[in-house]
Amino acid sequence: MKKETPLYVEIWRQVAKMVETMPKSTVRNITDVVKLLLEQAEHREEQQEPEKKKPRHIGTLTQTEPPLSVMAYLFESSAKSPSTLTEEDVWGAWDENRIEKRSEGMVVARHPEVCPIFGDSIPYKSVTVVCKEEQYQDVCYWLEYVHGAGCIQATALLPNDRIAIRSEYQAD
């Protein structure tokens, strides 16, 4: 009698086929998801009564009850939700009709300008942002929210505890 292949093995085989053409950051996210699926499969195989568990951290992923869906995790930003900054603080504010820009936010240069910090021509839909060191995580969140995960291409430490960040649009 042939032993049936466990579900998690089949999932792993399907994921392995898909990751060949994906960026490394996406592959890392998929690996975390597969680890969770393996744990869930082991949990089901043991047929234990589900207990209420506190969330626990596995790398950048937080396992919760009920678990995150695979797609919700894969498309979740790698940066944590901002605690102090808003999208307008980073990207600038527009008028109510989104016709006129009221402020530039933290953006110091955008396409087609020459970047005053990195000294190069800024690629299409890219920006350079300057923030305080303590704002770095919040700024990364809003850059990834607009440009997509993995958008941060360069950083530079500046005087007065400031950081310059180059963000490039990821959907091209």
Based on the fold, state whether residues 20 and 92 are members of the same structural domain. Answer: no
User: Above 90 in pLDDT, residue 4?
Assistant: no
pLDDT of residue 19: 64
What backbone phi and psi angles, to 5 degrees, belong to 58?
A: -125, 100
pLDDT of residue 33: 74
pLDDT of residue 167: 93
Based on the fold, state whether residues 91 and 162 are members of the same structural domain. Answer: yes
Q: Which of 53, 74, 95 is the last residue of a domain?
A: 74
pTM: 0.54
Structural domain harbouring 51: 7-74
Based on the fold, state whether residues 105 and 157 are members of the same structural domain. Answer: yes
Q: Which of 49, 74, 99 is the last residue of a domain?
A: 74
pLDDT tens by residue, 102-152: 899 999 999 999 999 999 999 999 999 999 988 998 998 899 888 988 888
Q: Is the peptide bond before 112 cis (omega within 30 degrees of 0)?
A: yes
pLDDT of residue 91: 92
Residue 36's pLDDT band (cuts 50, 70, 90) = confident
User: Above 60 in pLDDT, residue 78?
Assistant: no
